[in-house]
């Protein structure tokens, strides 16, 4: 029997980008909320930047959810 490798988990930014899209929030508005420039916001969304505690707190505030959600997504992505 041939085994199958699990599909890698997308970076946490993938889920954030989907939520931004669902809420009609632009990347520019997201960057402004996080007090970063657009390039860094894009890097966060594409997985090029890790979500640390300050980012998680700001994103949690934007989406009105616990920052732990984003920290846990980052940990799961890092651990794969």
Q: Evaluate whether residue 33 is within a structural domain.
A: yes
Instruction: Look at residue 2 and tell me if it is in a domain.
Output: no
Report residue 4's pLDDT band, with 50, 70 and 90 as the boundaries. Answer: confident
Predicted pLDDT of residue 44 = 96
For residue 1, tell me if it sits in a domain.
no
- The answer to whether residue 6 is domain-embedded is no
Domain span including residue 25: 12-79
pLDDT grade for 1, boundaries at 50, 70 and 90 = low
The fraction of the chain above a pLDDT of 90, given in percent, is 90
Give the pTM: 0.88
CATH of the domain at 22: 1.10.260.40
Number of domains the chain is built from: 1
Q: Where are the beta strands (DSSP E) in the chain?
A: none
Instruction: Say yes or no to pLDDT of 32 above 90.
Output: yes
CA 34 – CA 1 distance, rounded (Å) = 48
Query: How large is the average pLDDT for residues 44-73?
Result: 96
C-alpha pair distances (Å), 75 with each of 27, 28, 52, 56: 23, 26, 10, 12
């Amino acid at each position: 029997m041939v085994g199958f490798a699990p599909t890698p988990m997308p970076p946490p930014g993938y889920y954030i980008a989907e939520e931004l899209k669902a809420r009609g929030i632009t990347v520019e508005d997201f960057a402004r909320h996080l007090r970063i420039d657009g390039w860094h916001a894009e890097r966060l969304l594409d997985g090029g930047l890790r979500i640390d505690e300050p980012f998680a707190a700001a994103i949690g505030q934007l989406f009105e959810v616990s920052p732990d959600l984003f920290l846990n997504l980052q940990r799961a992505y890092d651990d794969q």
